[in-house]
Amino acid sequence: MLKLYIGNKNYSSWSMRPWVLLKQCGIPFEEVMVRFDAFQAGSEFRKTVDAVSPVGKVPVLVDDGLVVWDTLAIAEYLAEQFPEKSLWPQDSKARARARSVCADMHSGFAALRSACPMNIEASLPDIGQLIWRDKPAVRADVARVVAMWDELLTQHSGPMLFGEFSIADAYYAPVAMRLKTYALPVPASITAYIHRLCATAGVKAWIDDALLENDFRDFEEPYRLQP
């Protein structure tokens, strides 16, 4: 059986992507939670993850001795291993676009990711207002996300970015979490997509688990001194 190493569900946006994909698409796997204690060499987190991955980060997928440690590589591997699940869109042009937007998320939107770290349990609208006021790069990132999502939802007639749930939706799920936590202003159509995404089985299961963690990590909390 596939084994997926992940970090805290409240904070680990990269772990969320393959976990949600596996869960939503009904692919059996074993979850290995590696709690965020610290990331320095010698920490319990690093000792556990270093034993299976050369980069010392999560997520890590292990399949019969094969180790895949990059989120996008994990998604591609799953798409190849489970073609019947249609993890990418069937149409070749839509599939190329889906890969493009996932790669864009993989390497871009640095301002949004830096200023608004994923924190599912928190509600930080006041912080979101300050970020929105003071950080034009965040406003630019959100504008790009909104334009992208709106175009895809319109072109493919929803309910997900490419019609049916795909890797692209799993990939942008942590962005939806950020928009919710910080209450960043987006159009009603985008809010509706976020609600639909959060209602999918995979995303809902991740959120539910995150809310049950009760594991406050101060080094992941730039805006709060306590939960």
Domain count, the chain: 2
How far is it, in rounded angstroms, from Cα 141 to Cα 162? 21
* Element at 67 (helix H, strand E): strand 66-68
Instruction: List, in order, residues 6 or more apart from 104 with CB less than 8 Å away.
Output: 148
Could you list the pLDDT tens digit for every one of the 227 residues in the chain? 999 999 999 999 999 999 999 999 999 999 999 999 988 888 999 999 999 999 999 999 999 999 999 999 999 999 999 999 999 999 999 999 999 999 999 899 999 999 999 999 999 999 999 999 999 999 999 999 999 999 999 999 989 999 999 999 999 999 999 999 999 999 999 999 999 999 999 999 999 999 999 999 999 999 998 88
pTM given for the model: 0.97
At 119, which CATH number? 1.20.1050.10
Same domain, 109 and 201: yes
Burial class (CB in 10 A: 0-12, 13-18, 19+), 11: buried
Same domain, 125 and 164: yes
Return the pLDDT at 226: 85
**Which position has the token pair 């290995």?**
32
Same domain, 35 and 103: no
* Residue 226: inside a domain: no
* Residue 80: inside a domain: yes
Same domain, 44 and 121: no
Phi, psi of 190 (to 5 degrees): -75, -40
- Core vs surface per residue 155-164: b (16+ CB within 10 A) or e: ebebbbbbbe
Owning domain of residue 15: 2-85
Return the pLDDT at 208: 98
* Residue 96: inside a domain: yes
Return the pLDDT at 146: 98
At 40, which CATH number? 3.40.30.10
Same domain, 101 and 66: no
Same domain, 107 and 191: yes
Same domain, 103 and 177: yes
* Residue 42: inside a domain: yes
What is the C-alpha R_g of the chain? Answer: 17
Provide DSSP, 120-183. Answer: TT---HHHHHHHHHH-HHHHHHHHHHHHHHHHHHHHTTSSBTBBB--HHHHHHHHHHHHHHHTT
Return the pLDDT at 38: 86
Same domain, 18 and 62: yes
Same domain, 41 and 81: yes
* Residue 217: inside a domain: no
Same domain, 108 and 75: no
Same domain, 117 and 204: yes
